[in-house]
Amino acid sequence: MDIRHLLKQSITVAPYVSANAFGEAGYGAQRQVAARYEVAVSTQPGTPGARAVLTGPLVVAEAVGPQDRIWLAEDNSADATQARVPGPGGVKAGPRLVTGAVAFYEVEL
């Protein structure tokens, strides 16, 4: 079942490229990816300001790498501290379409 037409939101993804000699991660150019997610905006004790907290799965139209940085639309993609990375559950491919392409990917943050 192709659900890509239902992915009305977008996220920003910076792909992980490699680590330098000091072990610091390097990332490629940011890109917009169609997505669907639900958030609740809340404040965390001891942190300034509010942050969007996912209340369900993040479903995306393109594959996301396990070390890629992800910003939701509510996040400032110019601020690396607001970036998220896939969690322990990682990225799971959804069912395949008749064409053989993956219908969607589910990302655990």
Q: Say yes or no to pLDDT of 96 above 80.
A: yes
Q: What is the CA radius of gyration of the chain?
A: 15
SS3 of residue 58 by DSSP: strand
Give the start-to-end residue ranges of the domains of the chain: 4-107
pLDDT digits (tens, 9 = 90+) for 43-79: 666 666 666 677 678 999 999 999 999 999 888 999 9
In angstroms, the CA 91 to CA 94 distance is 10
The number of angstroms, rounded, from the C-alpha of 80 to the middle of its chain's C-alpha atoms is: 13
pLDDT digits (tens, 9 = 90+) for 81-90: 999 999 888 8
CA dist 67 to 14, 49, 85, 93, Å?
9, 26, 6, 16
